[in-house]
Structure 1
Amino acid sequence: MHTAPVSEAEPRSVRVSVHTPDVISRVGLVRYLEAHPEVEVVPAGSSASVDVVVLAPPRLTPQVLTAMRKRAALSPAPVVLLANQLSDGHLLAVVECRVVAVLPRSAASDDRLLRGVLGAAARAETMPSDLLGELITHLERLRGEGLMAKGSEAAGLNPREVDVLRLMSKGMDTAEIARELCYSERTVKNVIYGCTSRLNLRNRPHAVAYAMRAGAI
């Protein structure tokens, strides 16, 4: 009696969710991924588990990073990040958010995105110990493509704000900063208020910490 050979089970599709506030970008990403049979796109609002998360924020603002950290705390899925610009100051932040690949937004419709998603899924169970080194390599490639921003530019700070925050980081008060920069104290206060309100920073120490983390000072 001959037994029929047991056929190998087909590999399961990689379940991916796409997150971006831009509707046009989301539609384009979903259509691209759905065109590949090895990928199954899960609606972003679904409660189903996913293997990989694709994030494409317009900018890596403090609010976006906070949302990424919250998502990382709720799900162990690795993240592929599409970004227009990154600063060196974002490196540790994205590591905390389970980002395993950083790609330029121009990769949203080519094989780099597919390779990034499949690669992220393959390493989901055993995150490499040299992940930080891999991300640095990603950032170096982005710098070569002209997508890496200087710290102050990526942080959204103008030169006057950088000057004020740099002196504040040295422990100077408003009067001392005004004398050093030849500003009035009112101007210094306005500069501080402008950057904290625009970037949703809580207070002066938070503003200094934000600028330092972004590599602006």
Structure 2
Amino acid sequence: MAIRLVIADDQAMIRAGLRLVVETAPGIEVVGEAADGRQALAVARQRRPDVLLMDIAMPGLDGLSAARQLLEDPRPPRIVMLTTFNTDDNLHASLRARVHGFVLKSSPAEQLIEAIRAAAAGEAVIDPAVAPRVIDAFAAQPELTPPPELATLTPRELEVLRLLADGMSNPEIARELRIGEVTVRTHVTHVLHKLGLRDRIHAVVFAYEAGIVRPGRRRENSRDEPC
């Protein structure tokens, strides 16, 4: 069954370009478009897409506000925010709103398609170029008292959570801890279950809001690896 996609962006040329890109990929069907947040709400609720690709900055009701409202619905779509790296100031707020990821408008077509597929499969998506900015936003917050839920994690699971918050992928965590990727996936699953979190993105949110990751950790520990 094809992935049902709605595209929301206030610029008609960008919507047309995105539609052209995704319609070349098998298994993805564009079932609607919207030019602002209010239209995005109406189209998403009417067409019931699997994934909503939505620009953060739109006139009237912006994408972030629309996402917040839509995520209150009983069965919301997976929401992936479209962002421009140099101008968006809402990455932190979007994560708090529990959207499912970010994709740069300038991303290669293959990366955009992969992000849509990943979101439809229930995975969290952060464009690699956006990830450091998201991490920096959380790292800049004051240190907080760790919540009691952390006590349910084993020492290994706590370390996996820290590495997730550093922005590491499963293969990177496996290399860092010298364990297999299957074991990493098992640890990640346990961390999400014990903390009641939906996905990896919200594990990052939890880690920084709990104050268990200090700024600059990854840059110090991974000087020899690309970020």
**Which of structures 1 and 2 has the larger relative contact order (alpha carbons within 8 angstroms, sep 6+)?**
1
Bigger-Rg structure (1/2): 1
Q: TM-score, with normalisation over the residues of structure 1? A: 0.47
